A = this chain, B = another copy of it.
Amino acid sequence: MSFECYSNSRLGDAMQTKVSGNTMKTRTDVDYLFEPRSVAVIGASQNKAKIGYRIVENIISCGYKGEIYPVNLKGGELLGNKIYPDLSQICGEVDLAVITIPAKLVFPAVKECAEKGVKHLVIITSGFSEVGHSEEEKRIVRYAREHGMRVLGPNIFGIYSSAVSLDATFGPGGILPGHVAIITQSGALGIAMIGKTAAESLGLSVLVSVGNKSDIDESDLLEYLAHDEATQVIVLYIEGVKDGERLVDTLTKVTRDKHVIVIKSGRSKRGAVAAASHTGSLAGADEIFDSVMRQCGVLRAESVQDAFDWARFLADSPLPKGKEAVIITNGGGIGVMTTDACEKYGVDLYNDQKTLKETFSGVMPDFGSWKNPVDLTGQATVRDYEHAIEAALANDEMHATLALYCETALFDGEELGRLLKREYTLYQGKKPIVFSLFGGEKLAVITSELRKEGIPVFSDVYDAVSCLGALYRSWRNLSTPVESAEKVEIDTGAVQTILDRARSEKRGFLLADEAQKVAKILGLSMPQSIIARNLGEAVQAAAKIGYPVVMKVVSKDIIHKSDAGGVAIDLVNEEEVVDAYQAIMRSCRSYRRDAVVQGVEVVEMVRPGVETILGARQDGSFGPIVMFGLGGIYVEVMKDVAFRAAPIGRKEAHAMVADIRSYPLLLGVRGEKRKDIDGIVGVAVRLSNLIHRCRDITDIEINPLVVYNHEDGVKAVDVRILFKEEGEVR
């Protein structure tokens, strides 16, 4: 057999230049995945029904200019390309190997790739961890990493990269280059997305199927995309999160440069169950996912359609310079609906009556209204419409425009189409504008034509405002300076000592006095408390603390003190302390005959305030997280809780507190004073640091954290701490 040896292609040279050129970009691990100079397809096939044919066909028809090396033991030719019987017979370098052969043949092929010096493996083949064959998958990844290769997949449909015009997928082809990157965990949905994006003229910079994420995951890809000039918007379709901590870190950084949209199915209880059975990965509590994505500055879309509408708009629209938008309409009813939609999607409306009048009263027919929504009435001509839209553009205090058109008898479709195009061009690069056209077939045709040209026109006003709302949410995130997590001094060594001591007693929870010590280390103000070993000490303790007091049993055998009758509150004098002591001892003995009771804890009775719950735990998806809510049934019944990935700074802690629906209670209602929100924030920041640094602690709950008026502080009444028992340490 004879070999032809190619020199590196033009593209290869060009890319070398690019690498060493002006951009001064250092090639990261993942760069070669998106900008390979050559691609081998292992399992290339002459059978048109095979994936190995489809991929080679897509690579060629997409116009990839690097070297293509189909590989198949049988040899021969495929679509004008020589088929190599094995990798060793290829003379040039192979940056990327796409593997489509059956699962059991993959490992030997990976070994060959290592020998050839391949940089990246794209393993299309399925039949690995998704069907329980995790060991084989791990073996492949271990071997690949040991030999300097990174692995995308397995169980994927491939990768598209506009940078080198590479469509190494077995999708339907026809991908348009553009500014939106898609990373998808679902293969079926991903392939359908290819067709969908093409049908909607949504141009892509990158499309990657991550499948089993055996090595390369969303975070690796996001790191590349953060610096990819072609990419303006990143759309993630996620079914389950693996390394949530890293994902949070990466997303927090990436959202400073790119708009990021996430679709995560399994929101509902039943959906989460379905997702788990579909992907084998636990979806985790959706409320946590939702909170954490907001914390990262990520926009969450419910449906693929929303995500695509937003992505297209965000990719092309300039950022607004301020928060106030103007609605221009020729119909009152549709103007009101749009106002509703603006409130729903968080778009503020410009409200300076004087300026509105000055700006618009001259450019509208009689009976029109210059108030916002600016109503030009059904009598408006295309000319009136034009003047109003341009008047809004000319005014620097109006930061975005929503232009609505209801079909009227005066309607001239072609003229309207030309107008929208002209106005869009005027706005481009200056201000965001969205259009909504409501009416018949002709308007539908105009809408569809303009959309194909990338102009943001919608038939339903809610869809139009939803896009502008997404832009505003992303803009607000960008406008908020990044907060570096506060340096908090916490003596974690001391905490560890307390945990170790409890562990030596085979406990996974701390006793009250131990938890109090941790609280003290955290700088938490807790009620004064004295442990009394007998009745006499209890009476003395109560006198020292001052009445009224609370009394709680102390016993490592009794965790649920209330259930055991081990708690008495509001004891106002010595007589009541004596009675309560005896009652507690009696109850606890009958609750658990063999309980060893160390004594009672006599505690200062905390004066009333707003009861809140502040908690922290190690989450299965995101690692250390903190949570906040109002006490009692607010959390349990109303599910009025906010979460954040830990650690957090003061601003993020404040945002978490403000996230709950019952937040107005803390601001003061019914003439009550503002509560000590700063106090809560301080505790939340310290707690987030502790849970982040002490991974042994699985669960801390401060419940209730009583909050007093502004500057009067907060008081932790009870702190419950659970941790990993010996042997569980990771």
Contacts and interface: CB of A to CB of B under 8 A. Distances in A.
A54 interface: yes
Interface stretch (A33-41, A572-580, A659-667): A659-667
A369 B670 contact: no
A543 to B, nearest CB: 24
Contact of A275 (B278, B336, B377): B336
B349 A270 contact: yes
A633 B669 contact: yes
Contacts of A186: 331-334
A460 B305 contact: yes
Contacts of A189: 331, 333-334, 406, 438
A461 interface: yes
Contacts of A662: 633, 637-638
Contacts of A335: 274, 278
Contacts of A661: 637-638
A463 B306 CA distance: 11
A336 to B, nearest CB: 4
A329 to B, nearest CB: 9
A167 interface: no
B198 A440 contact: yes
Contacts of A633: 662, 665, 669
Interface in A339-398: 339-340, 342-344, 349, 367, 369, 371, 373, 375, 377-378
A278 B378 CA distance: 13
Contacts of A340: 265-268, 271, 302
A408 interface: yes
A303 B270 contact: no
A440 B196 contact: yes
Contacts of A51: 409
B369 A277 contact: yes
A171 B409 contact: yes
A171 B186 CA distance: 47
B343 A440 contact: no
A96 interface: no
A332 B265 CA distance: 10
User: Which of A189, A191, A279, A633 is packed against the most chain B CB atoms within 10 Å?
Assistant: A189
B195 A330 contact: no
A440 B174 contact: yes
A487 interface: no
A237 interface: yes
A303 to B, nearest CB: 5
Contact of A332 (B192, B278, B339, B669): B278
Interface in A179-217: 185-189, 191-192, 194-196, 198-199
A462 interface: yes
Given A270-B349, A637-B664, A378 B198 contact: no
Interface of A: 51, 54, 131, 170-172, 174, 185-189, 191-192, 194-196, 198-199, 237, 239, 265-271, 274-275, 277-279, 302-305, 330-337, 339-340, 342-344, 349, 367, 369, 371, 373, 375, 377-378, 406-409, 411, 438-444, 459-463, 633, 636-638, 640, 661-662, 664-665, 669-670
Given A188-B406, A278-B369, 18 more contacts: A174-B440, A185-B333, A188-B408, A192-B334, A192-B406, A195-B407, A196-B459, A198-B441, A199-B441, A265-B337, A266-B340, A270-B343, A274-B339, A303-B462, A304-B337, A633-B665, A637-B662, A637-B669
18 contacts: A172-B407, A186-B334, A189-B334, A191-B406, A195-B439, A195-B443, A196-B438, A196-B459, A265-B337, A265-B340, A271-B340, A274-B335, A274-B336, A275-B336, A277-B369, A278-B375, A302-B462, A636-B670
